[in-house]
Chain A
Amino acid sequence: MLRLTRISKSFAGVRALDQVTLEARAGEVHALMGENGAGKSTLMKILSGLIVPDEGAISIDGEELMMTDPRDAQRRGIAMIHQELSPVPDRTVAENIFLGKEPCYPGTGFVNRGAERRAARALLERLHIDIDVRTRMRDLSLARQQLVEIAKAVSYDPRIIIMDEPTSALAVREAEHLFALIRELATRGAIIIYISHKMDEVFRLADTITVLRDGRTIDSRPARDFTADTLITAMVGRELAARYPKEEILPGRVSLEVSGTGVHFVAREGEILGFAGLMGAGRTELVESLFGLRPFDGGEIRIDGARVLIRKPVDAIGAGMALLTEDRKLQGLNLKGTVKTNTSLASLAGYCYAGGWLRPRMEDQAVDHMLQYTRVKTTGRHQPVSGLSGGNQQKVLLARWLLTGPRILLLDEPTRGVDVGAKAEIYALIGELVRQRKTVIVLSSELPELLGICDRILVMRGGRITASFDRADFSQEAILSAAMNE
Chain B
Amino acid sequence: MKTTPNHLFQRYGIYGVLVLLVIVLAIVSPVFLTGANIINILRQVAVNGIIAVGMTLVIITGGIDLSSGSLLALSAVVATSLAHPGGHGAGLAVAAGIGVGLAMGTVNGVLIARQRLPPFIVTLGMMTAARGLALVYTSGRPVIDLSEGYDRIGGGYLLGIPVPVIVFAGVAVLGGALLHGTRFGRYVYAIGGNELAARVSGVGTRGILIRVYALSGALAGLAGIVLSSRVMSGSPSTGVGYELDAIAAVVIGGTALSGGTGRIAGTIAGALIIGVMNNGLDLLNVSSYWQQVAKGVIIILALLLDKTSSREK
User: Which A residues from 344 to 382 make CB contacts under 8 A with B?
Assistant: 344-346, 348-349, 352, 355-358, 379
Instruction: Mark contacts of A398-410 with chain B using CB atoms, 8 A cut-off: 1 yes-contact digit, 0 otherwise.
Output: 0010001000000
Q: A333-B194, A341-B190 are known contacts. Are A356 and B182 too (CB-CB below 8 A)?
A: yes
Q: A313-B201, A317-B202, A358-B183 are known contacts. Are A345 and B190 too (CB-CB below 8 A)?
A: yes
Q: Which of B183, B199, B261 contacts A356 (CB 8 A)?
A: B183
Are the C-beta atoms of B200 and A357 separated by less than 8 Å?
Answer: no
Find the residue from B1, B181, B197 having the highest chain A CB count within 10 A.
B197
Are the C-beta atoms of A358 and B192 separated by less than 8 Å?
Answer: no
User: Which B residues from 247 to 305 make CB contacts under 8 A with A?
Assistant: 259-261
Q: B201 — which chain A residues lie within 8 A by C-beta?
A: 313, 317, 345-346, 400
Q: Which of A293, A316, A323, A337 contacts B190 (CB 8 A)?
A: A337
Q: Which of A293, A334, A335 contacts B198 (CB 8 A)?
A: A334
Are the C-beta atoms of A331 and B196 separated by less than 8 Å?
Answer: yes
The CA of A293 and the CA of B198, in the complex, are separated in Å by 12
Tally of A-B residue pairs with Cβ under 8 A?
Answer: 85
Q: B203 — which chain A residues lie within 8 A by C-beta?
A: 314, 345
The CA of A355 and the CA of B182, in the complex, are separated in Å by 8
The CA of A221 and the CA of B184, in the complex, are separated in Å by 59
Are the C-beta atoms of B182 and A337 separated by less than 8 Å?
Answer: no
Instruction: Mark contacts of A265-298 with chain B using CB atoms, 8 A cut-off: 1 yes-contact digit, 0 otherwise.
Output: 0000000000000000000000000010100000
Interface residue? B189 (CB, 8 A): yes
Interface residue? B141 (CB, 8 A): no
Interface residue? B2 (CB, 8 A): yes
Interface residue? B118 (CB, 8 A): no
Are the C-beta atoms of A314 and B204 separated by less than 8 Å?
Answer: yes
Are the C-beta atoms of B200 and A331 separated by less than 8 Å?
Answer: yes
Interface residue? A383 (CB, 8 A): yes
Q: A317 — which chain B residues lie within 8 A by C-beta?
A: 201-202
The CA of A337 and the CA of B2, in the complex, are separated in Å by 15
Q: A358 — which chain B residues lie within 8 A by C-beta?
A: 181-183, 186
The CA of A352 and the CA of B261, in the complex, are separated in Å by 22
Are the C-beta atoms of A336 and B186 separated by less than 8 Å?
Answer: no
Interface residue? A325 (CB, 8 A): yes
Interface residue? A330 (CB, 8 A): yes
Are the C-beta atoms of B200 and A334 separated by less than 8 Å?
Answer: no
The CA of A174 and the CA of B178, in the complex, are separated in Å by 55
The CA of A325 and the CA of B190, in the complex, are separated in Å by 16
The CA of A314 and the CA of B200, in the complex, are separated in Å by 8
The CA of A142 and the CA of B67, in the complex, are separated in Å by 41
Q: A313-B200, A323-B200, A341-B189 are known contacts. Are A348 and B183 too (CB-CB below 8 A)?
A: yes
The CA of A34 and the CA of B11, in the complex, are separated in Å by 43
Interface residue? A77 (CB, 8 A): no
Interface residue? B176 (CB, 8 A): no
Interface residue? A332 (CB, 8 A): yes
Are the C-beta atoms of B200 and A349 separated by less than 8 Å?
Answer: no
The CA of A335 and the CA of B164, in the complex, are separated in Å by 38
Are the C-beta atoms of A331 and B197 separated by less than 8 Å?
Answer: yes
Least Cβ distance of A129 to chain B in Å? 35
Are the C-beta atoms of B196 and A335 separated by less than 8 Å?
Answer: no
Interface residue? B193 (CB, 8 A): yes
The CA of A334 and the CA of B200, in the complex, are separated in Å by 12
Q: Which of B181, B193, B202 contacts A334 (CB 8 A)?
A: B193
Q: Which of A312, A334, A352, A357 contacts B260 (CB 8 A)?
A: A334
Q: A352 — which chain B residues lie within 8 A by C-beta?
A: 182-183
Instruction: Mark contacts of A34-60 with chain B using CB atoms, 8 A cut-off: 1 yes-contact digit, 0 otherwise.
Output: 000000000000000000000000000
User: Which B residues from 187 to 236 make CB contacts under 8 A with A?
Assistant: 187, 189-190, 192-194, 196-204
The CA of A316 and the CA of B2, in the complex, are separated in Å by 37
Are the C-beta atoms of A336 and B193 separated by less than 8 Å?
Answer: yes
Are the C-beta atoms of A383 and B193 separated by less than 8 Å?
Answer: no
The CA of A420 and the CA of B201, in the complex, are separated in Å by 27
Q: Which of B1, B182, B190 contacts A357 (CB 8 A)?
A: B182
Q: A291 — which chain B residues lie within 8 A by C-beta?
A: 200
Q: A357 — which chain B residues lie within 8 A by C-beta?
A: 181-183
Q: B200 — which chain A residues lie within 8 A by C-beta?
A: 291, 293, 313, 323, 325, 331-332
The CA of A336 and the CA of B202, in the complex, are separated in Å by 19
Are the C-beta atoms of B193 and A330 separated by less than 8 Å?
Answer: no
User: Which B residues from 96 to 153 make CB contacts under 8 A with A?
Assistant: none
The CA of A313 and the CA of B203, in the complex, are separated in Å by 8
Q: Which of B183, B190, B197 contacts A349 (CB 8 A)?
A: B183
Least Cβ distance of A417 to chain B in Å? 16
Are the C-beta atoms of B197 and A333 separated by less than 8 Å?
Answer: yes
Instruction: Mark contacts of B75-113 with chain A using CB atoms, 8 A cut-off: 1 yes-contact digit, 0 otherwise.
Output: 000000000000000000000000000000000000000
Least Cβ distance of B304 to chain A in Å? 20
Q: Which of A312, A334, A384 contacts B189 (CB 8 A)?
A: A334
Least Cβ distance of B266 to chain A in Å? 15
Q: B204 — which chain A residues lie within 8 A by C-beta?
A: 312, 314
Q: A336-B192, A356-B183, A358-B186 are known contacts. Are A346 and B261 too (CB-CB below 8 A)?
A: no
Task: Supply 11 further A-B pairs (C-beta < 8 A) apart from A345-B203, A352-B183, A356-B183.
Answer: A293-B199, A314-B203, A316-B202, A330-B196, A331-B196, A332-B197, A336-B192, A346-B202, A352-B182, A356-B182, A356-B184
